[in-house]
Structure 1
Amino acid sequence: MKKIIGVLVGVSLLGMLFSGSFLGTFFEPEPHGVPVAVVGPDTLVNQLSGAMEDNKPGGFDLREYTSVDVAHEALLGREVDAVLVPQEGRLVVASAGGRAGAAAITGAFQAAEKAQGRALRVEDAVPLAAGDVGGTSGMFYVLSLVLPGLAMALLLTKVAPGHGPALRVGVMVAGALVAASVNAWLADVVLGALPGRYGWLVVVSAGIVLTIGLVVSGLLKTVGTVGLVLAALLFIPIGLPASGGPIGARFIPEWYAAIGRFLPVEPGSEVVRNTVYFDGAALGTPLGVLAAWALLGVILLALPRRRTSSHQAAHRIRR
């Protein structure tokens, strides 16, 4: 009876983890230090900053730019999330960076302009694919890369437990390329959800699958099945919402976004997004995080295999 109660409690806690993580993250998103380029003199920027601070304390970080072209380059380079040109009554957003986030920026600045009796024209410099109404394709695509990484690590451990680290890594590289190729083909060619960068999408997707596979394989070797469970919980119900998903990391609780920056899912999402929509801008930091996780996996794989204690061995012999 105690085991049955334990199972029921465990299942309930798992459900609470998922619902608490996803609902707590995406319900009532609020901006936190969202960088916005303002084209104009510093007096105007300071005036706007004061108005936005009164409306959304700590929500926006307005940065002065003297040229529309330079500000636009900053938007495409992922340095800012929007460009405001007050003299022209124009706001430029990039919904590919997060549709819900772009909508929140638009709403906040339209309200500020309306309070001054002015209208604000909104342009989308980097739109999402036409059918991606909710902006969720990127989040679910990254999930479709995490799951093969987890499964590949588990299956290789089961079907080829005696293979050394070098052979295991080689097989995982091949498996990552296959999984990435078919997923990118579906996302780009078949569905058009992440269009126009098939070759590069395959490359970065393979890197994500390989990273997850290496980490989980290393954990399986060093701590056993519990490592797979911990990785799955860390990467999916925690890592996925902590990445910001379709709204962006700057619109979720700051402490959760800070956790997400150091897990593979958020950097993976950034790499996919920036590769497909922003011509490979700002890839250094997310690729560095993924590389650190992959290196951790390689190190764990290189460690000596766990030794069975003499007591456990004797118990197995008696059985």
Structure 2
Amino acid sequence: MNIRIRTPWIKAAVLGLGGSLVVALLVLAFMWPAKTSTAHHLPVSLAGPEAAVTAVEKQLEQASPGTFVVHRAADRTEAESQIKRRVTYGAIVLSTGNGGQPAPPEVLTAPAAGAAPTQMLTGLASKLQADMGKQIAAAGGDPASAKVTVIPLVQLSANDPMGSGLALAALPLALGGVIGGVLLSTKVHGTWRRLGGAAVFAAAAGGLLVLIMQAWFGYLQGNAWLNVAAIGLTVGATATFMIGCVKLLGSPGIALGPIVTVLLGNPLSGSNAPWQFIPEPWGAIGQFLVPGAGNTLLRDISYFPEANTAQQWLTLAAWVIFGALLALAGEALKRRRLAGSSPRVATSP
């Protein structure tokens, strides 16, 4: 007769409580950035005559302290270059009209850089126009003549007009890397075979996801092969890190990987809002984690080909190397333990 041993009530209650804490931690991790992020330290370009630029810079700081970080540009061309190189999220271009009088400014936006910066700069254009109208009216002119032009410089894809495609892809990319790492860690024996499997997984995932996100959905733009490399390196970095954690720590490593990548990295990635809006120093730290580097790299490849992406490529490559080193360290420790526990064979003199 089979006798089933029932789990003690206290253990069932503790497990239930632990599960609820995990759920609370998940909710907190994903909601915390949205709750605590504020519109501040947004880099914008400011170009025009020195006196006008200085006046507008002071006006911005007085009206919205800490909201904007001004990057001065010699002219409109340099301001556009700063936007396209991802130095800034937009620009205010001041100019002088006929007779040396100030001409209505232009506000350049980059919708592909995110909805929040675009909305902020559009609102700023409305405020500049209202202030200019007051100045013209005070001088006895027609306030309706004040006109600030908003010019979208870097547009989103027609297939992704709200920019939600790249944002939605952030979490599946993180989870995909975790799943790949867990499968290889639990179903493949041999450290080098696991790492080789991770390389195949990264290459195949990069190709398949580009077929879906670029060829089919049209969410990704730019060079398809670069996108394959970027996605492959992103999911491969997470998978390799998972393999290293499991090899070095055993079962606890299965939990550590998702904590770093999903619970910490994804909320800090800046996929839904500029990383500058996340409380310091977490926004900057997020750019050196896999989800942040991968998200920024994909956006830059798609819409900002002039941007310097060296940091993102090096960050992702460093995570791959780090994961591989963890796996090799775990293999070395395993061999040392086995050598230490093996019985010594006595030899006759």
Q: Same fold (TM over 0.5)?
A: yes
Among 230, 246, 251, the alignment partner of 2:256 is 230
Among 270, 273, 279, the alignment partner of 1:247 is 273
Matched, 1:80 2:88: yes
- Total equivalences in the alignment: 309
Larger C-alpha radius of gyration, 1 or 2? 2
Aligned 1:14-25 pairs, distance under 5 A: 14-25=22-33
- Say if 1:146 and 1:212, in contact at 8 Å, map to a contact too: yes
**CA drift at 1:172:** 1.3
**CA drift at 1:185:** 0.8
Aligned in 2, Cα 1:124/1:10: closer, same or farther, shift over 3 Å?
farther
- Say if 2:108 and 2:150, in contact at 8 Å, map to a contact too: yes
1:200-253 Cα shifts (integer Å, max 9, x gaps): 211111111111111110001001222221221221232112112222212232
Counterpart of 2:155 in structure 1 is 127
**CA drift at 1:283:** 0.5
**CA drift at 1:275:** 0.7
Report which stretch shifted further, 75-84 or 7-16.
7-16
Counterpart of 1:317 in structure 2 is none
- Say if 2:185 and 2:194, in contact at 8 Å, map to a contact too: no
Aligned in 2, Cα 1:35/1:297: closer, same or farther, shift over 3 Å?
same
5+ residue gaps, structure 2, are 1-8, 96-103, 134-145, 342-349
- Say if 1:153 and 1:216, in contact at 8 Å, map to a contact too: yes
Aligned in 2, Cα 1:28/1:172: closer, same or farther, shift over 3 Å?
closer
Q: Distance in 2 between matches of 1:10 and 1:97?
A: 40
Matched, 1:164 2:191: yes
- Say if 1:215 and 1:293, in contact at 8 Å, map to a contact too: yes
- Say if 1:243 and 1:257, in contact at 8 Å, map to a contact too: yes
TM-score when scaled to structure 2? 0.81
Determine helix, strand or coil for the equivalent of 1:86: strand
**CA drift at 1:280:** 5.6
Q: Distance in 2 between matches of 1:63 and 1:284?
A: 21
- Say if 1:33 and 1:250, in contact at 8 Å, map to a contact too: yes
Q: Distance in 2 between matches of 1:4 and 1:51?
A: 61
Q: Distance in 2 between matches of 1:22 and 1:134?
A: 21
Q: Distance in 2 between matches of 1:285 and 1:262?
A: 8
**Cα root mean square deviation, aligned:** 2.3
Counterpart of 2:346 in structure 1 is none
**CA drift at 1:104:** 2.1
Matched, 1:189 2:229: no
Among 96, 117, 137, the alignment partner of 1:101 is 117
- Say if 2:238 and 2:320, in contact at 8 Å, map to a contact too: yes
* Identical aligned residues as a percent: 25
Aligned 1:267-282 pairs, distance under 5 A: 267-279=293-305, 281-282=307-308
5+ residue gaps, structure 1, are 314-319
- Say if 2:125 and 2:150, in contact at 8 Å, map to a contact too: no
- Say if 2:170 and 2:295, in contact at 8 Å, map to a contact too: yes
Among 28, 42, 64, the alignment partner of 2:72 is 64
1:246-284 Cα shifts (integer Å, max 9, x gaps): 222122323331331221111111111111111162201
Among 214, 231, 235, the alignment partner of 2:240 is 214
